[in-house]
Structure 1
Amino acid sequence: MDNFYNSPALARYLKTLGFDVVGTLRTNRQFVPRELAELTKFNMKRGQIAGLTSGDVNLLVWRDENIVATISTYHGNETSIKRYIKAMCSS
Protein backbone atom coordinates (compact mmCIF):
# COMPACT_ATOMS: atom_id res chain seq x y z
CA MET A 1 0.00 0.00 0.00
CA ASP A 2 0.99 3.58 -0.60
CA ASN A 3 2.07 5.74 2.36
CA PHE A 4 -0.77 8.18 1.64
CA TYR A 5 -3.32 5.59 2.81
CA ASN A 6 -1.36 3.51 5.31
CA SER A 7 -1.67 3.79 9.08
CA PRO A 8 -1.30 1.38 12.01
CA ALA A 9 -5.04 1.58 12.70
CA LEU A 10 -5.93 0.68 9.10
CA ALA A 11 -3.39 -2.16 9.08
CA ARG A 12 -4.86 -3.66 12.24
CA TYR A 13 -8.43 -3.29 10.92
CA LEU A 14 -7.57 -4.98 7.62
CA LYS A 15 -5.78 -7.78 9.50
CA THR A 16 -8.98 -8.49 11.46
CA LEU A 17 -10.77 -8.86 8.11
CA GLY A 18 -8.14 -11.36 6.95
CA PHE A 19 -6.04 -9.07 4.75
CA ASP A 20 -2.32 -8.49 5.22
CA VAL A 21 -0.78 -5.06 4.69
CA VAL A 22 2.72 -4.25 3.45
CA GLY A 23 3.90 -0.82 2.39
CA THR A 24 5.53 2.45 3.22
CA LEU A 25 4.30 4.63 6.06
CA ARG A 26 4.30 8.31 6.93
CA THR A 27 5.59 8.58 10.47
CA ASN A 28 3.36 11.57 11.25
CA ARG A 29 0.25 9.34 11.14
CA GLN A 30 -1.89 8.79 14.21
CA PHE A 31 -0.89 5.79 16.36
CA VAL A 32 2.71 5.68 15.10
CA PRO A 33 4.80 5.30 18.27
CA ARG A 34 6.59 8.48 19.32
CA GLU A 35 9.95 6.69 19.34
CA LEU A 36 9.67 6.16 15.58
CA ALA A 37 7.81 9.38 14.74
CA GLU A 38 10.60 11.50 16.24
CA LEU A 39 13.35 9.91 14.14
CA THR A 40 14.83 12.21 11.50
CA LYS A 41 17.75 11.95 9.12
CA PHE A 42 19.64 14.27 11.47
CA ASN A 43 19.48 11.95 14.50
CA MET A 44 20.05 8.66 12.63
CA LYS A 45 23.17 7.47 10.85
CA ARG A 46 22.94 6.11 7.33
CA GLY A 47 22.09 2.40 7.54
CA GLN A 48 20.74 2.63 11.08
CA ILE A 49 17.51 0.66 11.66
CA ALA A 50 14.77 0.99 14.30
CA GLY A 51 11.67 -1.16 14.58
CA LEU A 52 8.74 -1.87 16.86
CA THR A 53 6.11 -4.59 16.95
CA SER A 54 2.66 -4.33 18.46
CA GLY A 55 0.75 -7.57 18.19
CA ASP A 56 0.67 -8.40 14.51
CA VAL A 57 1.68 -4.92 13.23
CA ASN A 58 5.39 -4.38 12.55
CA LEU A 59 6.88 -0.94 11.97
CA LEU A 60 10.40 -0.51 10.63
CA VAL A 61 12.29 2.75 10.08
CA TRP A 62 15.74 3.06 8.56
CA ARG A 63 17.88 5.80 7.15
CA ASP A 64 19.10 5.67 3.60
CA GLU A 65 19.42 9.09 1.95
CA ASN A 66 16.28 10.00 3.92
CA ILE A 67 14.11 8.24 6.47
CA VAL A 68 12.20 5.24 5.08
CA ALA A 69 9.36 3.79 7.14
CA THR A 70 7.48 0.57 6.42
CA ILE A 71 4.51 -1.20 7.97
CA SER A 72 3.64 -4.86 7.66
CA THR A 73 1.21 -7.36 9.10
CA TYR A 74 2.78 -10.08 6.96
CA HIS A 75 6.51 -9.85 7.62
CA GLY A 76 8.22 -9.71 10.99
CA ASN A 77 10.87 -7.07 11.67
CA GLU A 78 13.61 -9.67 11.23
CA THR A 79 12.49 -10.47 7.67
CA SER A 80 12.35 -6.79 6.73
CA ILE A 81 15.81 -6.12 8.18
CA LYS A 82 17.31 -9.05 6.25
CA ARG A 83 15.79 -7.76 2.98
CA TYR A 84 17.11 -4.26 3.64
CA ILE A 85 20.64 -5.48 4.41
CA LYS A 86 20.62 -7.66 1.29
CA ALA A 87 19.55 -4.66 -0.83
CA MET A 88 22.27 -2.47 0.73
CA CYS A 89 24.97 -5.08 0.06
CA SER A 90 23.97 -5.54 -3.59
CA SER A 91 24.09 -1.78 -4.31
Structure 2
Amino acid sequence: MSEANTSPERQGLTPRQARHVRIALSAAIMIAVAVTLVLRLGSTHSVLTLGFYGIALILSGSALVLSRVGRTRVASAVLGVGVAVAIVAEWAIAALR
Protein backbone atom coordinates (compact mmCIF):
# COMPACT_ATOMS: atom_id res chain seq x y z
CA MET A 1 0.00 0.00 0.00
CA SER A 2 1.34 3.44 -0.86
CA GLU A 3 1.21 6.59 1.25
CA ALA A 4 -1.11 8.31 -1.25
CA ASN A 5 -3.87 5.80 -0.57
CA THR A 6 -3.77 6.18 3.22
CA SER A 7 -4.04 9.98 3.41
CA PRO A 8 -7.45 11.44 4.22
CA GLU A 9 -9.43 12.86 1.34
CA ARG A 10 -9.18 16.58 0.75
CA GLN A 11 -12.22 18.56 1.83
CA GLY A 12 -13.65 21.52 -0.08
CA LEU A 13 -13.26 22.69 -3.63
CA THR A 14 -10.22 22.29 -5.81
CA PRO A 15 -8.64 25.55 -7.00
CA ARG A 16 -10.14 25.05 -10.46
CA GLN A 17 -13.63 24.48 -9.02
CA ALA A 18 -13.25 27.56 -6.81
CA ARG A 19 -12.37 29.65 -9.86
CA HIS A 20 -15.39 28.36 -11.76
CA VAL A 21 -17.71 29.04 -8.83
CA ARG A 22 -16.39 32.60 -8.41
CA ILE A 23 -16.62 33.26 -12.16
CA ALA A 24 -20.24 32.06 -12.24
CA LEU A 25 -21.08 34.05 -9.11
CA SER A 26 -19.45 37.21 -10.49
CA ALA A 27 -21.30 36.83 -13.79
CA ALA A 28 -24.63 36.25 -12.04
CA ILE A 29 -24.16 39.29 -9.82
CA MET A 30 -23.10 41.36 -12.81
CA ILE A 31 -26.31 40.41 -14.63
CA ALA A 32 -28.41 41.13 -11.52
CA VAL A 33 -26.78 44.55 -11.10
CA ALA A 34 -27.37 45.37 -14.77
CA VAL A 35 -31.05 44.39 -14.54
CA THR A 36 -31.44 46.40 -11.32
CA LEU A 37 -29.78 49.39 -12.98
CA VAL A 38 -32.20 49.26 -15.90
CA LEU A 39 -35.18 48.98 -13.53
CA ARG A 40 -33.94 51.82 -11.29
CA LEU A 41 -33.31 54.09 -14.27
CA GLY A 42 -36.88 53.41 -15.39
CA SER A 43 -38.20 54.78 -12.11
CA THR A 44 -35.63 57.52 -11.41
CA HIS A 45 -33.16 59.35 -13.60
CA SER A 46 -30.46 59.93 -11.04
CA VAL A 47 -26.85 60.29 -12.05
CA LEU A 48 -25.87 58.96 -8.61
CA THR A 49 -27.87 55.79 -9.24
CA LEU A 50 -26.11 55.34 -12.56
CA GLY A 51 -22.75 55.93 -10.88
CA PHE A 52 -23.26 53.52 -8.00
CA TYR A 53 -24.54 50.71 -10.17
CA GLY A 54 -21.87 51.46 -12.76
CA ILE A 55 -19.22 51.04 -10.08
CA ALA A 56 -20.85 47.78 -8.99
CA LEU A 57 -20.76 46.56 -12.61
CA ILE A 58 -17.09 47.47 -12.92
CA LEU A 59 -16.23 45.72 -9.65
CA SER A 60 -18.20 42.63 -10.70
CA GLY A 61 -16.25 42.52 -13.94
CA SER A 62 -13.01 42.98 -12.02
CA ALA A 63 -13.94 40.08 -9.73
CA LEU A 64 -14.64 37.95 -12.79
CA VAL A 65 -11.20 38.71 -14.24
CA LEU A 66 -9.50 38.16 -10.88
CA SER A 67 -11.22 34.77 -10.60
CA ARG A 68 -10.03 33.77 -14.05
CA VAL A 69 -6.41 34.39 -13.08
CA GLY A 70 -6.72 32.46 -9.82
CA ARG A 71 -7.16 35.26 -7.28
CA THR A 72 -10.43 33.88 -5.92
CA ARG A 73 -10.14 35.30 -2.40
CA VAL A 74 -9.38 38.77 -3.69
CA ALA A 75 -12.23 38.40 -6.19
CA SER A 76 -14.63 37.48 -3.38
CA ALA A 77 -13.57 40.53 -1.38
CA VAL A 78 -13.92 42.85 -4.39
CA LEU A 79 -17.32 41.39 -5.24
CA GLY A 80 -18.61 41.61 -1.67
CA VAL A 81 -17.37 45.15 -1.11
CA GLY A 82 -18.68 46.31 -4.50
CA VAL A 83 -22.18 44.99 -3.97
CA ALA A 84 -22.26 46.22 -0.35
CA VAL A 85 -21.17 49.72 -1.37
CA ALA A 86 -23.81 49.90 -4.11
CA ILE A 87 -26.58 48.74 -1.77
CA VAL A 88 -25.59 51.03 1.11
CA ALA A 89 -25.10 54.02 -1.21
CA GLU A 90 -28.48 53.49 -2.86
CA TRP A 91 -30.12 53.17 0.57
CA ALA A 92 -28.38 56.34 1.79
CA ILE A 93 -29.52 58.32 -1.27
CA ALA A 94 -33.10 57.05 -0.81
CA ALA A 95 -33.00 58.05 2.88
CA LEU A 96 -31.92 61.60 2.01
CA ARG A 97 -34.91 62.17 -0.26
Q: Structure 1-normalised TM-score?
A: 0.29
User: Where is the helix percentage greater, Structure 1 or Structure 2?
Assistant: 2
Structure exhibiting the larger radius of gyration computed from Cα positions: 2
Q: Structure 2-normalised TM-score?
A: 0.28
User: Where is the strand percentage greater, Structure 1 or Structure 2?
Assistant: 1
